[in-house]
Chain A
Amino acid sequence: MTFRMIFRQFRRSALATLVLMAAIPAVSSATTKVQKVTSKSGIVAWLVEDYTNPIISLSFAFYAGGVRDPVGREGLAKLTTIMLDEGAGEMKALAFQRKLENLSISLSFEVGRDQFHGSLRTLRRNGDEAFGMVGLALTRPRFDSDALERMRASMLSDYLRNSRRPNYLARRAFWSAAYPDHPYGRPVAGTADSLQAISAADLRNFVKDNLTQDNLVIGVVGDVTPARLAVLLEKAFASLPAKQKKWALPAVVPKLQGGVVVRKFNTPQSVVIFGQPGIARRDPDYYSAHVLNHILGGGGFTSRLYSEVREKRGLAYSVYSYLWPMQRSALYLGAVATQNKRVAESIKVIKQEWARIAKDGPTTQELASAKKFLTGSYPLRFSSSTRIAEMLVGLQLEGLEADYFEKRNSYIQSVTLDDTRLVARRLLKPDKLTFFVVGDPTGL
Chain B
Amino acid sequence: MIARSLKGHALQCGAAVLIAAPLAAPLPLAHAQTRDGVHKGVFNPKTFTLENGLQVVITTNRRAPVALHMLWYKTGAIDEPAGKSGIAHFLEHLLFKSTRTLKVGEFSRIVSANGGRENAFTSWDYTGYYQFVAKDRLPRMMEIEADRMANLVLANQEVLRERQVILEERRSRIETRPESILWEQARRALFLNHRYGRPIIGWMHEMEKLSRQDALDFYKRYYGPNNAVLVVAGDVNVDEVRRLAEKYYGPIKRIAVPPRKVLREPPQRVERRVVYRDARVRRPSFGRLYYAPSYNVGATQYAYALQVLTRLLGSSSTSLLYQKLVVRQKLATSAGGGYSATRRGPSHFYIFASPQLGVSIEKLEKAIDVEIARIVEEGVRKADVEAAKRQLQDLAIFARDSIRSGANAIATSLMIGRTANDVEEWPTRIGKITVEQVNSAARHVLQRQKSVTAVLLPLRADITTKGEASQK
Contacts and interface: CB of A to CB of B under 8 A. Distances in A.
A314 B163 contact: yes
A39 B113 CA distance: 44
B176 A166 contact: yes
A363 interface: no
A154 interface: yes
Nearest to A153: B333
Task: Name the 3 nearest CB pairs between A and B, nearest first.
Answer: A376-B115, A314-B164, A3-B285
Given A94-B327, A97-B318, A314-B165, A1 B20 contact: yes
Interface string B312-334: 00011110001100110010011
A27 B5 CA distance: 27
Nearest to A165: B280
Interface centre among B115, B160, B404 (most CB of A within 10 A): B115
Contacts of B286: 3
A146 B326 CA distance: 11
Contacts of B266: none
B118 A7 contact: no
Contact of B113 (A50, A57, A310, A372): A372
Contacts of A165: 280
A123 B397 CA distance: 8
Interface of A: 1-8, 13, 16-17, 27, 29, 31, 50, 52-55, 57, 93-94, 97-98, 101-102, 104, 121, 123, 146, 150, 153-154, 156-157, 160-161, 163-167, 191-193, 265-269, 271, 299-302, 307, 310-318, 320, 335, 337-339, 369, 372-380, 382-386
A377 B116 contact: yes
A299 to B, nearest CB: 7
B342 to A, nearest CB: 15
Contacts of B395: 104
B315 A311 contact: no
B249 interface: no
Given A3-B456, A98-B318, A157-B467, A267 B397 contact: no
Given A98-B318, A337-B168, A339-B171, A17 B9 contact: yes
A18 B170 CA distance: 28
Nearest to A98: B318
15 contacts: A3-B287, A5-B16, A6-B336, A13-B9, A50-B63, A55-B397, A157-B334, A157-B467, A163-B471, A314-B163, A317-B168, A320-B7, A374-B115, A380-B134, A383-B403
B109 A369 contact: yes
B299 interface: no
Contact of B168 (A101, A267, A338): A338
B324 to A, nearest CB: 12
A150 B282 contact: no
A164 B115 contact: no
A52 B235 CA distance: 13
A146 B164 CA distance: 50
A304 to B, nearest CB: 12
Given A313-B164, A383-B402, A384-B401, 4 more contacts: A52-B400, A156-B333, A269-B171, A317-B168
Given A157-B357, A268-B176, A337-B168, A7 B336 contact: yes
A192 B171 contact: no
Nearest to A155: B333
A2 B16 contact: yes
Contacts of B166: 317
A262 B391 CA distance: 49
Contacts of A93: 317, 327
Interface in B153-190: 160-169, 171-172, 175-177, 179-180, 183
Contact of A266 (B19, B279, B316): B279
A318 B172 contact: yes
Interface stretch (B250-258, B348-356, B428-436): B348-356
Nearest to A378: B115
Interface residues of B, number: 97
B283 interface: yes
Given A318-B11, A369-B109, A157 B333 contact: yes
B394 interface: yes
A146 B330 CA distance: 10
Contact of B5 (A307, A318, A374): A318
Nearest to B158: A311
Nearest to A439: B176
B114 interface: yes
B419 interface: no
Nearest to B115: A376
B8 interface: yes
B112 interface: yes
Could you tell me the dominant secondary structure of chain A's interface residues?
A: mixed
A53 to B, nearest CB: 5
A299 B7 contact: yes
B5 A94 contact: no
A307 B106 CA distance: 12
B165 to A, nearest CB: 5
Nearest to A32: B64
Contact of A383 (B66, B133, B336): B66
Nearest to A96: B318
A380 B132 contact: yes
Nearest to B405: A384
B417 interface: no
A376 B137 contact: yes
Given A4-B334, A269-B172, A310-B165, A318 B6 contact: yes
Interface centre among B20, B334, B353, B357 (most CB of A within 10 A): B334
Nearest to B327: A150
Given A27-B64, A314-B162, A372-B113, A4 B168 contact: no
B411 to A, nearest CB: 17
Contacts of B390: 102, 104
A301 B168 contact: no
A161 B318 contact: no
A379 B134 contact: yes
A197 to B, nearest CB: 14
B105 A154 contact: no
B318 A94 contact: yes
B13 interface: yes
A209 B255 CA distance: 67
Contacts of A150: 326-327, 330, 333
B117 A5 contact: no
A2 B179 contact: yes
Given A53-B397, A380-B66, A382-B63, A161 B282 contact: yes
Interface centre among B13, B64, B285 (most CB of A within 10 A): B64
A160 B467 contact: yes
B317 A8 contact: yes
B402 A384 contact: yes
A376 B282 contact: no
A166 B176 CA distance: 8
B19 A1 contact: yes
Interface in B354-389: 354, 356-357, 387
A53 B401 contact: yes
Contact of B183 (A1, A50, A157, A307): A1
